[in-house]
C-alpha cells in the first residue's frame, strides 16, 4: 500500500558521517511516523500533523480513517483522522490507544456539553444561544456546533468529521433533545479538505425564519439559513454582556452585524447608539432586533462602509463615549499582515479620535496572524 513517489524515506539529505545509525521505522499502512525532530509540537498537545512532517503519507484509500501517529522512536503521539488531500494529513482525536467508535464520540460530546453548561455563564432561558462544541478545543477536531434555542447548527470542517456526520447528528439529537439540526458547512476551508460546500436540514425540523434567541435577557432574531457564519457571532457573547455593563452616554458601534453590541449598549446605560455595517441585510435584521428589545428609539442604523463612516464622523467633529470596533478578519495569512495592520491602525486611530475624554474603546480582531500585542 505504498505510493511509488513516497516509497522510500531517502528524500531528505543523507547524513555525512552516520556514526550511530538509528533505525527508523517509517511506518507501513498501519501508522504515521513523524520525522525526527518534528514531533515536539504534537507531543506537547498540538492537534494537527502536516504532510511534510511525516516520513510517508498514507495511501488515499485511508482518507477518513483512524490511524495512530508515532514519533521516530516509536512513542505513540495519538490516534487521528487521515486526509491525504489536505495539508493537515492527520487530526488528533485522542492521545491514548483506545477504540474510536460511536461510544468515543458520545463521550466526547457529553463531556463538552456538560462543560459548557457548567462554565460558560449561559443564559438560563431555553432559547439561549451559545457555541456548544468548540472543535479541537473539545477534542472533536473540525466540528462546530452552535445552539440556538431548540435548534442546533453544525459545521464540519474536515473530511474525517464530515464522513462521521450521520453518527454525530444522531448523537447530538439524542444528547440535546433538539427539534432540528441544520448544516452550515458553506465555508471555503472545506475546499482544502476536498469537500464540497454543504447546507440544509440534517435532522428534524428546519429552524423557523423568525427564530429568536435570548442572550443575557436580550433577544435576537437569527437567520440560520442565510446569516453570516452560522447565523450569529456567538464568540462575542460575553463581550456583549460586558458592553451592556459598561455602556453610557453616546455609543458608536461599527461592523455591527445584526446589532449585538448596539442592543447590549442600549439595554445597558447608553443614551444613544449609532451603528454601521456594510451589509443592508444585517442592518434590516438589526432594526428588527432593536424593536424586539424595545430600544428602537435610542438606535440609528447606517448601511455603509465603516472606514468611510469613521472618516466622516471625524470630519463632522462627532464625539462618542464608547466606540466599538468588531471588524471581520483583515488577514487570513501571513503575507497580508502588513496591509491588515494598516487597516487595524486606521480604524483604531480614528475611533480613539472620536472618543470624549475618559471614553471607552472596545476593540476586537479575529485575525489569527494578528497577536494581541501587535
Ligand atoms: N459585532 C457583531 C459581529 C460583527 S461581524 C455582533 O456582535 O454580532 C463583522 C461585520 O462586519 C459583518 O456584519 C460584516 O457585514 C461587516 N463588515 C465587513 N466589512 C465591512 C466594512 N468595510 N464596513 C462595515 N461593515 C463591514
Residue 308 CA to ligand 1 center (angstroms) comes to 14
Question: How many angstroms separate the CA atoms of 96 and 112, rounded?
Answer: 19
Ligand 1 pocket test, candidate residues 328, 347, 365, most atoms within 8 A of CB: 328
- Closest residue by Cα to atom 21, ligand 1, is 305
Ligand 1 pocket test, candidate residues 226, 277, 306, 311, most atoms within 8 A of CB: 277
- Closest residue by Cα to atom 7, ligand 1, is 260
Residue 279 CA to ligand 1 center (angstroms) comes to 8
Cα dihedral across residues 217, 223, 227, 229: positive or negative: positive
**Residue 123 has which C-alpha cell?**
443564559
- Environment class of 13 (CB within 10 Å of its CB; exposed 0-12, middle 13-18, buried 19+): exposed
Q: Quick: pLDDT tens for 255-299.
A: 999 999 999 999 999 999 999 999 999 999 999 999 999 999 999
Residue 367, H or E segment:
none
Question: How many angstroms separate the CA atoms of 327 and 349, rounded?
Answer: 14
- Closest residue by Cα to atom 11, ligand 1, is 255
Question: How many angstroms separate the CA atoms of 372 and 368, rounded?
Answer: 10
**pTM of the shown model:** 0.90
Q: Quick: pLDDT tens for 218-241.
A: 999 999 999 999 999 999 999 999
**Mean pLDDT to the nearest integer, 313-320:** 98
Note the pLDDT of residue 175: 98
Yes or no: say if 317 and 273 are a contact pair by the CB < 8 Å rule.
no
22 pLDDT band, cuts 50/70/90, is: very low
Note the pLDDT of residue 7: 37
φ/ψ bin of 162: left (φ > 0), alpha (ψ from -120 to 50), beta (otherwise): alpha
29 pLDDT band, cuts 50/70/90, is: low
Residue 271 CA to ligand 1 center (angstroms) comes to 23
Q: Quick: pLDDT tens for 43-87.
A: 999 999 999 999 999 999 999 999 999 999 999 999 999 999 999
Residue 327 CA to ligand 1 center (angstroms) comes to 5
Q: Which residue has the higher pLDDT, 217 or 308?
A: 308
Q: List the catalytic residues.
A: 366
* Site residues for ligand 1, CB cut-off 6 Å: 228, 233, 236, 240, 255-258, 260-261, 276-279, 282, 305-307, 326-328
In ligand 1, the atom with minimum distance to the C-alpha of 328 is: 9
In ligand 1, the atom with minimum distance to the C-alpha of 282 is: 13
In ligand 1, the atom with minimum distance to the C-alpha of 279 is: 15
Q: Which residue, 233, 238, 176, 230, is CA-closest to 203?
A: 176
- Closest residue by Cα to atom 20, ligand 1, is 278
Residue 157 CA to ligand 1 center (angstroms) comes to 23
Question: How many angstroms separate the CA atoms of 154 and 147, rounded?
Answer: 9
Amino acid at each position: 500500500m505504498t505510493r511509488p513517489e513516497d516509497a522510500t524515506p531517502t528524500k531528505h539529505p543523507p547524513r555525512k558521517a552516520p556514526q550511530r545509525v538509528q533505525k527508523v521505522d517509517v511506518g507501513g499502512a498501519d501508522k504515521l511516523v513523524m520525522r525526527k525532530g518534528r514531533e515536539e509540537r504534537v507531543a506537547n498537545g498540538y492537534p494537527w500533523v502536516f504532510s511534510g512532517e511525516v516520513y510517508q503519507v498514507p495511501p488515499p484509500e485511508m482518507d477518513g480513517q483512524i490511524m495512530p501517529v508515532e514519533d521516530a522512536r516509536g512513542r505513540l503521539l495519538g490516534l487521528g483522522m487521515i486526509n491525504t488531500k489536505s495539508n493537515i494529513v492527520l487530526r488528533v482525536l485522542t492521545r491514548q490507544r483506545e477504540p474510536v467508535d460511536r461510544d468515543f464520540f458520545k463521550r466526547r460530546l457529553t463531556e463538552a456539553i456538560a462543560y459548557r453548561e457548567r462554565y460558560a455563564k449561559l443564559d438560563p432561558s431555553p432559547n439561549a444561544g451559545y457555541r456548544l462544541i468548540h472543535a479541537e478545543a473539545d477534542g472533536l477536531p473540525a466540528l462546530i456546533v452552535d445552539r440556538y434555542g431548540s435548534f442546533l447548527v453544525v459545521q464540519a470542517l474536515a473530511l474525517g468529521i464530515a464522513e462521521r456526520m450521520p453518527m454525530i447528528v444522531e448523537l447530538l439529537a439524542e444528547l440535546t433533545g433538539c427539534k432540528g439540526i441544520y448544516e452550515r458547512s458553506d465555508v471555503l476551508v472545506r475546499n482544502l479538505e476536498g469537500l464540497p460546500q454543504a447546507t440544509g436540514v440534517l435532522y428534524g425540523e428546519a429552524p423557523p425564519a423568525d427564530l429568536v434567541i435570548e442572550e443575557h435577557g436580550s433577544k435576537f432574531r437569527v437567520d440560520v439559513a442565510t446569516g453570516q457564519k452560522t447565523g450569529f457571532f456567538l464568540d462575542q457573547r460575553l463581550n456583549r454582556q460586558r458592553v451592556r455593563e459598561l455602556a453610557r452616554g453616546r455609543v458608536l458601534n461599527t461592523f455591527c452585524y445584526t446589532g449585538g453590541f448596539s442592543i447590549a449598549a442600549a439595554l445597558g446605560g447608553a443614551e444613544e447608539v449609532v451603528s454601521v455595517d456594510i451589509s443592508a441585510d444585517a442592518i434590516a435584521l438589526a432594526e428588527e432586533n432593536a424593536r424586539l428589545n424595545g430600544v428602537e428609539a435610542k438606535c440609528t442604523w447606517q448601511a455603509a462602509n465603516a472606514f468611510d463612516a469613521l472618516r466622516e464622523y471625524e470630519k463632522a467633529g462627532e464625539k462618542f463615549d464608547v466606540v466599538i470596533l468588531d471588524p471581520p478578519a483583515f488577514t487570513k495569512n501571513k503575507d497580508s499582515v502588513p496591509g491588515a495592520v494598516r487597516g487595524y491602525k486606521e480604524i483604531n486611530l480614528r475611533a480613539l479620535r472620536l472618543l470624549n475624554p475618559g471614553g471607552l474603546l472596545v476593540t476586537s480582531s479575529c485575525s489569527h496572524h494578528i497577536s494581541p500585542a501587535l
